Amino acid sequence: MCADIIDQPSFRHKKYVFRDRFHAGEILAEKLRELIEGEAIVLAIPSGGVPVGYEVAKKLGLPFELAVVRKVPIPWEPEAGFGAVTWDGLIIFNEPLLAELDLDKKRIEASVVQVKNELQRRMEKFRGKKKFPDLNGKTVIIVDDGLASGYTMVAAITSIKRQTPKKVVVAVPTASRSALDLVSGNADQIICLNIRDERLYAVADAYQKWYDLSDEEVLQFLQKQV
């Protein structure tokens, strides 16, 4: 069963849709306001999803946490990935892409180990010894600043569903059509303001101001009161 996808028709076919991630979060929050039922929580995927998720949580008065997930990068093209690893050790692969890349097992394992080490570092820095929130019976809103391939989001959803939430809602400002097709088979509902059909898709193209956040900036959001 595929998730319902809610978009913003007026944002279609535009290059720069959002001023920045905060602006995107504000608009997402308004779209989400009437869809939240019962107890809910916002989980942002770092780093880019953190300002968006923070703004959503602040506008809706919801708890704000992180879902620490990392893509497994292609060795010669680190901006692209062939899978993802989650905070609790789940690994998923883009099997069709892996077949095209023709990576040997040793190289795949080395890439996964590298990502796991980075995840552990980030978990220690961002969460310390803080226990992951109980998601049982809650509406979980997973936020990122955009979806390129969708595999990182699918990994996050899969791990979150292990905790038997009431509902999983994916909320992103922008996404490729192919990523939404992939994610829709895993989430209960998707809010995506700007859907793009371009073959060469980049999340940054939807933002006037877009840059990579540092760990220190992520920590600043975690230390703020939503």
Is the per-residue pLDDT at 179 higher than 60? Answer: yes
The verdict on 77 and 185 lying in the same domain is no
The verdict on 63 and 88 lying in the same domain is no
Distance CA 37, CA 139 (A): 7
The verdict on 113 and 158 lying in the same domain is no
The verdict on 144 and 213 lying in the same domain is yes
pLDDT one-digit tens code per residue, 67-103: 999 999 888 887 788 999 999 999 999 898 888 988 8
Cα distances (angstroms) measured from residue 186 to each of 24, 106, 159, 179, 197: 23, 30, 11, 12, 21
Instruction: Assign residue 76 the CATH number of its domain.
Output: 3.30.1310
Instruction: Assign residue 213 the CATH number of its domain.
Output: 3.40.50.2020
Is the per-residue pLDDT at 2 higher than 80? Answer: no
Distance CA 210, CA 180 (A): 21
The verdict on 140 and 213 lying in the same domain is yes
Is the per-residue pLDDT at 199 higher than 90? Answer: no
- What is the residue whose two structure tokens read 């290059």? 15
Q: Which residue from 24, 56, 25 is spatially nearest to 40, judged by alpha carbons?
A: 56
The verdict on 150 and 52 lying in the same domain is yes
Per-residue model confidence (pLDDT) at position 225: 61
Residue type, 110: A
Average pLDDT score over residue span 110-115 = 93
Per-residue model confidence (pLDDT) at position 13: 58
User: How many structural domains are present in the chain?
Assistant: 2
The verdict on 46 and 144 lying in the same domain is yes
pLDDT one-digit tens code per residue, 133-161: 999 999 999 999 999 989 999 999 999 99
The verdict on 147 and 60 lying in the same domain is yes
pLDDT one-digit tens code per residue, 118-139: 999 999 999 888 889 999 999 9
Distance CA 18, CA 7 (A): 14
The verdict on 52 and 152 lying in the same domain is yes
The gap from C-alpha 31 to its chain's centroid, in whole angstroms, comes to 17
Q: What is the pTM of this model?
A: 0.92
Average pLDDT score over residue span 162-181 = 95
Is the per-residue pLDDT at 181 higher than 90? Answer: yes
Per-residue model confidence (pLDDT) at position 23: 96
The verdict on 62 and 141 lying in the same domain is yes
Helix (H, G, I), strand (E, B) or coil at 114: helix
The verdict on 173 and 61 lying in the same domain is yes
Instruction: Write out the residue range of the structural domain in which residue 202 sits.
Output: 4-68+133-223
